């Protein structure tokens, strides 16, 4: 797995504006380090610790003591799938909703970043992607297609 396939480019984005609705969860100073393709932010705090802002659940969770530990931990257990939303991204890529290399992104990802609730458009997109993925795997509707 190439983790870059599950991240968006963080350059040239107004993170102060995009994260304005999430300021109540975030410290005054931090750096946006990584952002997965569904808009979850991995921020590095002043003490060097890495925290995940999960915009779907509206939570902030410490995931590593530092960036090196994060790099080690992402390869352990199910962290890559959980943190990078690998299954969801793969399903959306397969369904044609996002490109493999990230030139396109889930519709309105910035809306997710600016809102404490998911937009209906994004939820519908994710549900459609999962439904297509699940129906191909015969896990929907009692195992029938």
| Per-residue pLDDT of the chain in tens (145 residues, 90 and over written 9) | 778 888 888 888 888 888 888 899 999 999 999 998 888 999 999 999 999 998 888 899 999 999 999 999 999 999 999 999 888 888 777 766 665 544 444 433 444 444 444 444 555 555 555 455 444 444 333 333 3
HEC sequence for 39-77: CCEEEEECCCCEEEEECCCCEEEEEECCHHHHHHHCCCC
Q: What does residue 34 show for φ and ψ, rounded to 5 degrees? A: -135, 155
Domain range enclosing 94: 3-143
The per-residue pLDDT for 46 is 97
The per-residue pLDDT for 97 is 63
Q: Kindly report the number of other CB atoms within 10 A of residue 78's CB atom.
A: 9
The per-residue pLDDT for 62 is 98
Query: How many domains, in total, are found in the chain?
Result: 1
| 42 in Cβ contact with 34 (< 8 Å) | yes
pTM listed for this prediction: 0.70
| 35 in Cβ contact with 102 (< 8 Å) | no
Quote the CA–CA distance of 126 and 87 in Å, as a whole number. 11
What Cα–Cα distance (Å) separates residue 21 from each residue in 25, 56, 97, 110?
A: 9, 13, 26, 12
């Amino acid at each position: 797995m190439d983790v870059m396939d599950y991240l968006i480019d963080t350059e040239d984005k107004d993170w102060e504006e995009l994260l304005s609705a999430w300021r109540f969860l975030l410290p005054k100073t931090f750096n946006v380090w990584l952002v997965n393709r569904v808009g979850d932010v991995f921020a590095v705090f002043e003490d060097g610790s890495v925290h995940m802002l999960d915009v779907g659940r509206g939570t902030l969770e410490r995931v590593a003591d530092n960036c090196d530990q994060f790099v080690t931990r992402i390869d352990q257990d199910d962290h890559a799938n959980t943190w990078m939303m690998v299954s969801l991204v793969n399903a959306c890529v397969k369904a044609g909703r996002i490109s493999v290399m990230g030139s396109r992104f889930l519709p309105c990802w910035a809306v997710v970043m600016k809102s404490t609730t998911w937009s209906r458009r994004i939820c519908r997109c994710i549900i459609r992607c999962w439904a297509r993925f699940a129906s191909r795997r015969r896990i929907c509707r009692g195992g029938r297609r």
